[in-house]
Structure 1
Amino acid sequence: MSLDRVAGTMRDVATRMAVPGLVWATISGPRQTVQIGSAGPLGHDTIFRIASITKPIVGVLALRLVDEGVFALDDAIDAWLPEFADRRVLRERGGALTDTVPAARPTTVRDVLAMGSGLGWDMKAAPDDPLAREFDARELGSGWEPPVVRPDRWAELAGALPMAHQPGEGWMYQYSYDVLTVLIERATRRRLDLLLRDKVFAPLDMDHTGYAVPMNDVDRVPSAWFPNRRGDFVEVAPTGDPRLMNVPVFRSGATGLLSSAGDLAKFAQMLLREGRGPRGRVISRASFAALTTDSVVEPARAMAREFLEPNLTWGLGVGVDLGSRYPGPHAGRFGWDGGTGTSLWVDPVSGVGGVLLTRQGLGTPEPPEYLEAFWGAVHA
């Protein structure tokens, strides 16, 4: 990897961005050296809304809890979420909420991490899909922001709805990692933000990552922008949003963390070291293998293909490349992207990793130029 190539490429791309400003980090070499760069009006110490990069981080936490014996991957979640016991399942995809059959088995921790809980974004749902409409009506959904109800109320309302598919037999993005919030907080009797602080952020010296920022740092968080239906970018959150000084009532495992390029580079270093941090293991070898191994099995694979790109699958918290998506990397490269315009991936074969952070959200039909250009340069 040529650091000069990465910097030159991204400075060039920044001049054409609809919403200028990006920060990146690269990790390479035998000592996993971190280099941080920026282009446009944002500096190295900018704190970003990282959206779905929250998932790999919370996935690592969940697997650390497996290592500690809090729960096992094949444990039924009913022990901690009685609202999810004796579930009903839609007889047909997109069917009426009253036309259901019993769940064939309980939902497990593994199902939740593998996006197989039966709740999520149905990519083929009609506009009047009964389950999707009811989920939205109950204000249970998360996108780039977390749900607005408290975790216990969320579990009560979500657990009363039928599953879209039998446990582990489908794949629907997003809401499984909201289920994960309730599971973790109840199993540990601690808030998710505090667990992440103690078990992931502190061991990795990630001092600027969390669900909120201190008052003296809030101006380091830039505005967030998304395209509207015409493709024009509109501001959806202001710079220095004072709401970010408060931890949300629902600490979502799917979205909502804020972080910097430097902090996320430390997380990427841990991933390149197969779960080892600077002062010892964050997760065991077995848990690291579970994190990065294809978890999508038949018959779930057909639904997963509706969301995931070709040659991309899902582990237990990260996307995993089944083949090379760029000229340089290898099958087994893993990581994830966030809808706010963020990306974190590592290639364990070449020992290269990267982080890209912007405020220009995803949502256009084609991948944004900045994303393709960054990874193309990193892996050149």
Structure 2
Amino acid sequence: MERVSAQQLAEWAAEARERWSVPGLAVGLLQDREIVSVGDGVLELGRPDRVSRDTIFRIASITKPFTATLAMTLAQEGLLALDKPPPGAPIEATVRQLLSHQGGLASEWPEPLDDVGDDDEALLRLTEGRPARLPIGAGELFSYCNAGFWFVAAAIARGLGMTFEEALRTRVLEPLGLRSTGFEADFPARGHNQVEKGGAEHAPAEERYPRVRRSGGGLFSSIGDLLRFAEHHLGGPGPLTAEAVSEMQRPVSAGPGFRYGLGWFLWETPSGPAVGHPGSVLGYESLLRFVPSKRLAVAALSNSSRGYAAIRDVIRNLGLAELERPEGALADLTEFEGRYQGQGIELEFVAEDGHLRVGLTEVDPFSGETSVYPSVRARPIGAREFEIVEGEWRGDRFDFPRPGFVCMGYLATRIE
């Protein structure tokens, strides 16, 4: 890939932000061991403060590879067994299965987290309880799962005799010099949700994030810190051995359009095999992606619930989007029609002119509010795999891994 200037990156970021009406966007590129980063837009609608390359955002689920990195520091010291269940957890799934979203668990806890508390023992108390189960066993199918990371974080805290936050700070953040990364932040960008799903109007999002969720999505960070974290996983110095870095990037499970290692998504791009993680929570959307063979990394942070649409435009310009798949022609799409239900989601598929029309209703795990998204069309790209072709979800993929099941990140089963 040709070297990208700060001016070019700034133009791409501004175009993408304006196209998708995102309040603020920061993007950075690590290339030839040098960082180029830019910011565009505002920290919060109605305020004049501008996003800069140093602005701190919630990074949401990019927290997961940080948690997996922490787990690997214990594994390489013989303090945590990857192929056994987390010590003290009432589940059968192994640490490796939990870190690769194939633990057979639903993503969220079966009861509200409001009454769990925010004290140092809250995570330990929570993970002594029974999580919600999927209708499959551990190791069978990929289904994105926040709760699995909570169990791993609790095992780390028990094993080290300190809080998860202290363990992450002393064993990962400080050794890498990540001074802008933590579970609290001074003057971060404010998250914004769309007033209507699929719409351009935004309003500030709620800010409460329960402490027990932190290992799956609670970190704040900056573009510079994320690229320094990526540099370690590209072979730079840090707390992990080269063998541990490689093991995290080895495929363990697979979903629609990707494979998954330990805390990392694995994609195919025009620039080569890529590693990374997206994030979405409380009106923030983000992405960290790197190509080990090119020692190239990109980080993008937004303060919008549709920010990933803008981020996808930028990474497409960089040649780092997922490889395009040719359209496949399926003789009969009625096999996939029907309503499917998972924890907090309901999906409806209708065959329409060689495509599937997709309807989604979702329950927000924070507010408990139900949202109905505008329906979109998806084209077949494989025998049981589809890609959304319109709207802000354009490029997202889903599949039907076995009869009666659909995976759109989360697993759902046919109900009619």
The TM-score with structure 2 as length reference comes to 0.66
Per the TM alignment, residue 201 of structure 1 is displaced from its structure 2 partner at its CA by: 0.9
**8 Å Cα contact 1:200-1:282 kept in structure 2:** yes
Map of 2:9 onto structure 1:
6
Q: Which amino acid aligns with 1:118?
A: G
Map of 2:184 onto structure 1:
212
Alpha-carbon distance change, 179 to 163 in structure 1, aligned in 2, over 3 angstroms: farther
Q: Which amino acid aligns with 1:338?
A: G
State how 1:71-86 maps to structure 2 within 5 Å. Answer: 71-77=80-86, 79-81=87-89, 83-84=90-91
2:230 to 263, 268, 277: 268
1:49 to 53, 58, 64: 58
1:284 aligns with 2:225: no
Map of 2:137 onto structure 1:
166
Measure, in 2, the Cα distance between the counterparts of 1:45 and 1:162.
41
Q: Which amino acid aligns with 1:74?
A: D
| Pairs aligned (count) | 301
Q: Which has the higher helix share?
A: 1
Q: Which amino acid aligns with 1:376?
A: R
Map of 1:336 onto structure 2:
277
State how 1:242-257 maps to structure 2 within 5 Å. Answer: 249-250=211-212, 252-257=214-219
Q: Which amino acid aligns with 1:19?
A: V
**8 Å Cα contact 2:265-2:275 kept in structure 1:** yes
Task: Kindly provide the CA deviation profile for residues 259-297 of structure 1, in whole angstroms up to 9, marking residues without a partner as x.
Answer: 111111111111222xx32xxx4211221121111101x
1:375 aligns with 2:361: no
Measure, in 1, the Cα distance between the counterparts of 2:14 and 2:54.
17
Q: Secondary structure at the match of 2:39?
A: strand
Map of 1:115 onto structure 2:
101
Per the TM alignment, residue 379 of structure 1 is displaced from its structure 2 partner at its CA by: 2.8
1:19 to 18, 22, 26: 22
Per the TM alignment, residue 119 of structure 1 is displaced from its structure 2 partner at its CA by: 1.5
Q: Secondary structure at the match of 2:130?
A: helix
Measure, in 2, the Cα distance between the counterparts of 1:255 and 1:110.
19
Measure, in 1, the Cα distance between the counterparts of 2:174 and 2:111.
38
The TM-score with structure 1 as length reference comes to 0.72
Task: Kindly provide the CA deviation profile for residues 137-192 of structure 1, in whole angstroms up to 9, marking residues without a partner as x.
Answer: 34399xxxx99992123113335x55542222232212211222212111222111
Alpha-carbon distance change, 148 to 361 in structure 1, aligned in 2, over 3 angstroms: farther
**8 Å Cα contact 2:265-2:276 kept in structure 1:** yes
**8 Å Cα contact 2:279-2:285 kept in structure 1:** yes
Q: Which amino acid aligns with 2:161?
A: R
**8 Å Cα contact 2:22-2:310 kept in structure 1:** no
Per the TM alignment, residue 46 of structure 1 is displaced from its structure 2 partner at its CA by: 1.3
1:227 to 194, 197, 211: 194
Q: Secondary structure at the match of 1:156?
A: coil
1:354 to 288, 294, 298: 298
**8 Å Cα contact 2:106-2:134 kept in structure 1:** no
Task: Kindly provide the CA deviation profile for residues 310-347 of structure 1, in whole angstroms up to 9, marking residues without a partner as x.
Answer: 2x1110010001x32xxx4212x100111121110100
Per the TM alignment, residue 368 of structure 1 is displaced from its structure 2 partner at its CA by: 4.3
Measure, in 2, the Cα distance between the counterparts of 1:22 and 1:6.
12
Map of 2:260 onto structure 1:
314
Measure, in 2, the Cα distance between the counterparts of 1:171 and 1:290.
18
Q: Secondary structure at the match of 1:253?
A: helix
Q: Secondary structure at the match of 2:52?
A: coil
Measure, in 2, the Cα distance between the counterparts of 1:162 and 1:15.
41
**8 Å Cα contact 2:127-2:150 kept in structure 1:** no
Q: Which has the higher strand share?
A: 2
Measure, in 1, the Cα distance between the counterparts of 2:113 and 2:308.
30
Map of 1:179 onto structure 2:
151
Over the matched positions of the two proteins, sequence identity in percent amounts to: 23
**8 Å Cα contact 1:114-1:315 kept in structure 2:** yes
RMSD: 2.7
Per the TM alignment, residue 369 of structure 1 is displaced from its structure 2 partner at its CA by: 3.6
Per the TM alignment, residue 193 of structure 1 is displaced from its structure 2 partner at its CA by: 1.1
Q: Which amino acid aligns with 2:88?
A: W
Q: Which amino acid aligns with 2:111?
A: A
Q: Which amino acid aligns with 2:141?
A: G
Gaps of 5+ in 2: 42-49, 321-416
- Bigger relative contact order, structure 1 or 2 (CA pairs below 8 A, ≥6 apart): 1
**8 Å Cα contact 1:117-1:163 kept in structure 2:** no
Map of 1:139 onto structure 2:
113
**8 Å Cα contact 1:223-1:237 kept in structure 2:** no
State how 1:70-109 maps to structure 2 within 5 Å. Answer: 70-77=79-86, 79-81=87-89, 83-84=90-91, 106-109=92-95
**8 Å Cα contact 1:138-1:157 kept in structure 2:** no
Per the TM alignment, residue 117 of structure 1 is displaced from its structure 2 partner at its CA by: 2.0
Per the TM alignment, residue 108 of structure 1 is displaced from its structure 2 partner at its CA by: 1.5
Measure, in 2, the Cα distance between the counterparts of 1:113 and 1:357.
23
